[in-house]
């Protein structure tokens, strides 16, 4: 029997209806994208780590997409021009959308300095499947932390197009959450994100709040 006669291995071509069905299934569960934006050193990755540890402890499928990790792999061919930064966001948003489609809670940690690029990322998701989190700390605080030494290099003229120094950062105008990491520690910020998730009916409250404290203590 030839392939044309139907041998059970006919080519499978996903249709738009298939994609719509998967998205509807994801929307009926807990899948969403938590997009953390802010200056380098503001605390995005730290808060993401606390949050993801808590969610996993609750048995919730989640994955963290960290900007530094992505630039060592998927986005290693990109630099820091405005065009490359936009492409960095586009690729990350598309990957996050596939993961949400698969039913995961995706935590993205990217500087993502431009509003137009963050608007594109938001457009990839249903309105109730995207949470923009502004991880805010004054530039002076970020420079004092400087975990990767990038600000020091930029101030010495060794690093060009550093966001906050010689490349702009456009703060979110209406984020779902605005965290102030110069005032609140990572656990307190994680609790604020969890409160939003609980308020959205995505996870149960009491156990989750207890778990975030445990997650913070382990870091």
> What is the token pair recorded at 203?
């996870």
Report how far residue 218's alpha carbon sits from residue 159's, in angstroms, rounded to the nearest whole number.
34
Catalytic residue among 112, 123, 167, 204: 112
Report how far residue 196's alpha carbon sits from residue 103's, in angstroms, rounded to the nearest whole number.
19
Catalytic (active site) residue 40:
no
Closest CA to 39 of 131, 121, 137: 137
Report how far residue 125's alpha carbon sits from residue 179's, in angstroms, rounded to the nearest whole number.
22
Report how far residue 128's alpha carbon sits from residue 168's, in angstroms, rounded to the nearest whole number.
29
Report how far residue 217's alpha carbon sits from residue 210's, in angstroms, rounded to the nearest whole number.
11
| Active-site amino acid positions | 112
């Amino acid at each position: 029997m030839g392939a044309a006669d139907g041998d059970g291995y006919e080519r499978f071509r996903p249709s738009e209806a298939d994609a719509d069905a998967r998205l509807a299934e994801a929307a009926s569960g807990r899948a969403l994208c938590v997009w953390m934006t802010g200056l380098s050193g503001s605390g995005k990755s730290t808060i993401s780590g606390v949050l993801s540890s808590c969610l996993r402890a609750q048995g919730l499928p989640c994955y963290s997409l960290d900007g530094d990790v992505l630039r060592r792999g998927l986005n290693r061919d990109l630099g820091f021009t405005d065009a490359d930064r936009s492409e960095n966001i586009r690729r990350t948003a598309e990957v996050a959308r596939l993961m949400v489609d698969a039913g995961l809670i995706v935590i993205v940690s990217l500087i993502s300095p431009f509003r137009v690029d963050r608007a594109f990322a938001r457009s990839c998701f249903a309105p109730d499947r995207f949470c923009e989190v502004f991880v805010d700390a004054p530039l002076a605080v970020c420079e004092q932390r400087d975990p990767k030494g990038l600000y020091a290099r930029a101030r010495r003229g060794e690093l060009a197009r550093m966001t906050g120094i010689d490349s702009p950062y456009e703060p979110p105008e209406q984020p779902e959450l605005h965290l102030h990491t110069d005032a609140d520690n990572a656990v307190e910020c994680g609790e604020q994100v969890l409160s939003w998730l609980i308020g959205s009916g995505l996870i149960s409250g009491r156990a989750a709040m207890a778990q975030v404290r445990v997650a913070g203590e382990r870091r």
